[in-house]
Amino acid sequence: MDLITSAVVAAIEQGAPGHAPEPVSRYYQQLKTALGKFESAAAILAAITALEADSASEPLRLALAHTLSAARVADDMASLFAAQGLLAQLRLPSAGITAEATEANEKSGSVVSNYAVVKTYFATDRQRDLGKPPAQRFSGARNAASAEQDTLSYGYCDISIPRDHRMGQLESPSLWRLEFRDDPAKHVVLLTSDVQDADTFYAALGAQVAASAGKNAFLFIHGYNVTFEDAARRTGQMAYDLGFDGAPVFYSWPSQGDLSGYTIDENNIEWSTPHILGFLSDFLDKTAAQNVYLIAHSMGSRGLARALAALMATQPLLAQKITEIILAAPDIDAAIFKNDIAPQLARARNPVTLYASSDDLALAASKAVHGYARAGDSGPGMQIVAGVETIDATAVDTGFVKHMYFAEKRSALSDMFYLIHNQARADQRFLDPVDTPAGRYWMFRP
């Protein structure tokens, strides 16, 4: 079930609307109020009323889920926030909101707190300086192994998500709004960044994986022009928006976090690839994760794809823990991807999902630098390969940073939501098929 249907069913099973504890009833009513603002509110509320009469009915649960999907409720943060608050009251998994945030909410006596806190885990081969503030603790330089420390650093971050957060956005201070510092009530903020030794890290990570209903985790590998801080913030935002039940993890390689650093970034992702492979292997081996979702963006797709190919060749049993591989705007040579990488990824447990666009500025710049199409291009060069479900995301409104469309555009994250929560393949989601002589790909519905 999706997050909102799960919240409704769980609340009804606890006695809502008339016989549940007061906090549950309050959040349940708040959720229904949020849903009542949609154009199709009558159909949504009728489906909920039917479930109130028979919450165990699987057809009624599916009917509500389909009604919510048709209304695009997963794009509405008021509804998602209410559902997450309701699940928190029921003590069920709810997108990584921490106990501290729930406790603060209860102490305040407010309907919802000003912000939620999402805990994420990280591994990085960036150079570190533990004497600096959390946002500056890891630089764009490579971390050389020494007698004092290994190449990799491990730890966790706490990320704030503001009450009025919009799906897909990384809210930040704006000079236009005369905002000069981070405010967790308004912005997605890296609150803490604590380093742990490897044993402590894997024990904590493993505990959060084990606590999830499906033994779930996702690993995000960022792309070009991304700082450690923004990788952490993006991971927290994605976990929250996806309503992810499990452990959100990110691997941060030494990107310069600067538009002019493309060549350095390109060298560094090659340098990091063996470290990504080592971390992925350890993560799959040392935790009880049974469903692992891998998401890579842009240049990060190079490191993940090559690490995965090696893992599948040398440790196929570990690779079977990987449930989904999602490549967003992959900055990989199209011919190399089609001929060398895709055939190896075809061994995956499920088809690979590839989001492409013909309107991605960073991929266009990469193509100009290299002289050849990228795997993330759409249009005539669309990658249609066996074992890959390719989705043309050109029609997605990418906002002011075109290369971030996989996370900035609400419908793209909504598609990923149903991919992850329902294990739904492309023909089972809200996509339109496009048949060509080379094969079939998919497009977002208008």
Please compute, for residue 249, the number of CA atoms within 13 A of its CA located in the half-sphere on the CB side. Answer: 28
What percent of the residues of the chain are helix, what percent strand, and what percent coil, each to the nearest 5? 45, 20, 35
Asked whether the beta carbons of 303 and 279 are under 8 A apart, the reply is: no
446 residues of the chain, pLDDT tens digit each: 467 888 888 889 888 888 888 878 888 898 999 898 888 899 999 999 999 999 888 889 888 988 988 887 866 767 877 777 777 666 443 334 443 444 433 333 333 468 889 999 999 999 998 888 888 899 999 998 775 668 899 999 999 998 877 777 778 776 566 666 778 888 899 999 999 999 999 999 999 999 898 899 999 999 988 999 999 999 998 898 888 889 999 999 999 998 888 999 999 999 999 999 999 999 999 998 999 999 999 899 999 999 999 999 999 999 999 999 999 889 999 999 999 999 999 889 999 999 998 777 777 778 888 888 899 988 777 889 999 999 998 866 433 233 455 555 455 777 888 898 888 899 988 889 999 988 999 998 76
- Which pLDDT belongs to residue 143? 93
- Which pLDDT belongs to residue 88? 66
234-255 CB burial, b ≥16 within 10 A, e <16? bbbbbbbbbbbbbbbbbbbbbb
d(CA 63, CA 389): 27
31-59 CB burial, b ≥16 within 10 A, e <16? bbebbeebebeebbeebbebbeeebeeee
| Beta-bridge partner residues of 189 | 160
Q: Of the candidates 313, 351, 362, 369, which has an alpha carbon nearest to the alpha carbon of residue 442?
A: 351
- Which pLDDT belongs to residue 176? 60
- Which pLDDT belongs to residue 124? 97
- Which pLDDT belongs to residue 96? 41
- Under 8 Å CB-to-CB from 76, ≥6 apart: which residues? 34, 38, 167
d(CA 14, CA 103): 21
Question: Is the CA virtual torsion 213, 188, 296, 373 positive or negative?
Answer: positive
Written as one letter, the residue type at 273 is T
- Which pLDDT belongs to residue 408? 53
Which tokens sit at 48? Answer: 């909920």
112-142 CB burial, b ≥16 within 10 A, e <16? bbbbbbbbbbbbbbbebeeeeebbebbbbeb
Helix, strand, or coil here: 57? coil
139 φ, ψ (degrees, to nearest 5): -95, -170
- Which pLDDT belongs to residue 109? 31
Asked whether the beta carbons of 262 and 133 are under 8 A apart, the reply is: no
d(CA 120, CA 156): 6
Asked whether the beta carbons of 247 and 121 are under 8 A apart, the reply is: yes
